[in-house]
A and B are shown apart, each in its own frame.
Chain A
Amino acid sequence: MKGAWSNVWTIVKRELVGYFDSPVAYVFIVIYLLLAGFFTFTFGSFFDRGEASLTAFFMWMPWLLLFLVPALGMRLWSEERRSGTIELLLTFPVTPWQAILGKFLASWIFIAIAMALTFPVWITVNWLGDPDNGVILAGYIGSWLLAGAYLAVSCLTSAITRNQVVSFILSVVICLGLVVVGFAPVTDLLARWAAPWLVEAVAGFSVLTHFDGFQKGVIDSRDFVFFASVIGFALFVTGVILRGHRAG
């Protein structure tokens, strides 16, 4: 078991260093921070709300991450396959699961770093008023879990194709699907002809529904289970796809 985690950790380190050795990390972080700020202060009307919270900041998170996370994850496996390094990686004495987990965790940790860098917003709101920092922490945890779900989906789509553009588009579409099934305008539309239980069941698959609780500062174990299941399932399918390519 120790050996397994040591393998995963070696891959995590390599991937993380790889991000910071290439422009990917800096471009991602700068754009993420710019957009997060832009959405918060303009569309989110951070100041006009007159309340000391980060609602305006977290409200846009599902939409912002919807494009940025697939951009980060699109190369995860497609690049390994295109350049042939997958052959190197999978002939090292590691299991495919260790490799998949290592690559996923590295990107997820990277996203956590990017999110941590939004701390000025948190400082601002604490400077201006007296927010409930528990709610803010829950919001960050929720955002990170949400990003993990998107990332796992991107991981899956990047395993399907060698083409990063295709991988990106597929990933955005699937993640968008995960969002809109719980998006109010869509659920309202659905409610016109479907039974309430059906609407609720469909909405239950939405990341929005499960992200909502975190935004309000409610940490519900069911939401945890939801995100963990999405991540686990997507990574499992990634493994199946990668194995399928090799099985011929």
Chain B
Amino acid sequence: MILVENLTKAFGSKTAVNHISFQVERGEVLGFLGPNGAGKSTTMRMITGYLPPSAGRAVVCGFDVAEQPIEAKRRIGYLPESAPSYPEMTVGAFLGFAAEMRGLHGAAKKKAVQGAIDTCVLESVVHQTIDTLSKGFRHRTCLAQALIHDPEVLIMDEPTDGLDPNQKHEVRTLIRRMGERKAIVFSTHILEEVEAACTRAIIIDRGVIVANGTPEELKSRSERAGAVLMTVRAPSVATVTDTLGRLPQVSRTEILAEDANRCVVRVYPDKSRVDGAFAAQVADATATRWTIEQLTTEEGRLDDVFRSLTRPDTAREAAA
């Protein structure tokens, strides 16, 4: 449904997006991750036809966005960053305008507006002007605009930005539900959002894709993925870490807490050497000498992966 090939955008001498390629099929929800200024918005603006690419192409439902922009745009619903709308209009009038721009008139327009109002829970503010609304309502109004023509492709730039936790949850649920029938791309810097709503995630840094996979795949790249966290009853902590550290499949150990006769350690696997059940091997080696009170295997964390793959703004400035 969405095909992006070598998409590149340069502003003067600065390359914001550098040869990005990916694909999104119907039924997929793609999370777009990256630090601020990584090129997320620029990529989305090229897919939606707002910015012409410097090189490469974006194809939506078989229509090249640069060559057949009208056909492509018809099939896209777009929520731009910071959810702009016309402040002097009422919510109803604004959605009516969006519907007409999508070629919906008369009964079809009425039905589309009502549908968007229902989906985004805007019934209570239909007759209010947008500038009197709270940020959450304003955001949902713009989201409603993106959904009004029931597009096959939905592009959303930070759809949960500025919403309270309840509203965030609602939007995520909505995204997941719509994702079953559409191809959705949304950007965020909230990592839990990716786990909650995405079938796949792309991490982008300085205009380049640095990771592309399901949230589980990405998490398994974390150093902590598969690590064993245990509480051991032992008089001397040093002997515990010493013993575990000598196992060939352990890369390192970390003491999280300790008191007189027990400690909490995290044991990291050396992924190139692990063979079989790492947790069981660690537990066997420990249990011969001490008592294990608690043991869990960790899943890995997306933000570890995120941080290891991207550089913060400050580091970039230092490098520049």
Contacts and interface: CB of A to CB of B under 8 A. Distances in A.
B89 A10 contact: no
Interface string B103-138: 100000000000000000000000001000000000
Contacts of A84: 80-82, 84
A18 interface: yes
Interface in B201-220: none
Interface in A12-27: 13-14, 17-18, 21-22
Nearest to A96: B69
B84 A93 contact: no
A6 B70 CA distance: 14
Contact of B101 (A10, A18, A83, A87): A10
Instruction: Determine the main DSSP class of A at the interface with B.
Output: helix
Contacts of A14: 86, 89, 97
Given A18-B89, A246-B51, A93 B74 contact: yes
A141 B70 CA distance: 36
B89 A21 contact: yes
A185 interface: no
Interface string B51-78: 1101000000000000001110110101
Contacts of A88: 78, 80, 84-85, 142, 145
| Most chain B Cβ neighbours within 10 Å, of A7, A92, A246 | A92
B290 interface: no
Interface residues of B, number: 38
B189 interface: no
B80 A92 contact: no
B9 to A, nearest CB: 7
A93 B103 contact: yes
A7 B69 CA distance: 15
A73 B54 CA distance: 32
A85 interface: yes
B78 to A, nearest CB: 5
Contacts of A22: 88
A247 B45 CA distance: 12
A87 to B, nearest CB: 4
B305 to A, nearest CB: 31
A92 B52 contact: no
A91 B48 contact: yes
B10 interface: yes
Contacts of B48: 91
Q: Give the bracket for the number of chain A residues in contact with chain B.
A: 20 to 34
B76 to A, nearest CB: 7
Given A87-B80, A92-B73, A246 B52 contact: yes
A1 B71 CA distance: 15
A128 to B, nearest CB: 41
B93 interface: yes
B101 A7 contact: yes
B102 A91 contact: no
A95 interface: yes
Contacts of A109: none
A198 interface: no
Contacts of A6: 100, 103
A94 B189 CA distance: 31
B85 A91 contact: no
A87 B86 contact: no
Contact of A95 (B70, B80, B85): B70
Interface in A97-113: none
Q: Which 4 A-B pairs have the closest CB atoms?
A: A84-B84, A248-B11, A92-B101, A93-B73
26 contacts: A10-B100, A10-B101, A13-B97, A14-B89, A18-B86, A18-B89, A21-B89, A22-B88, A83-B84, A85-B84, A85-B86, A87-B45, A87-B78, A88-B78, A88-B145, A90-B49, A90-B50, A91-B73, A91-B78, A92-B101, A93-B71, A93-B103, A246-B52, A247-B52, A248-B51, A248-B54
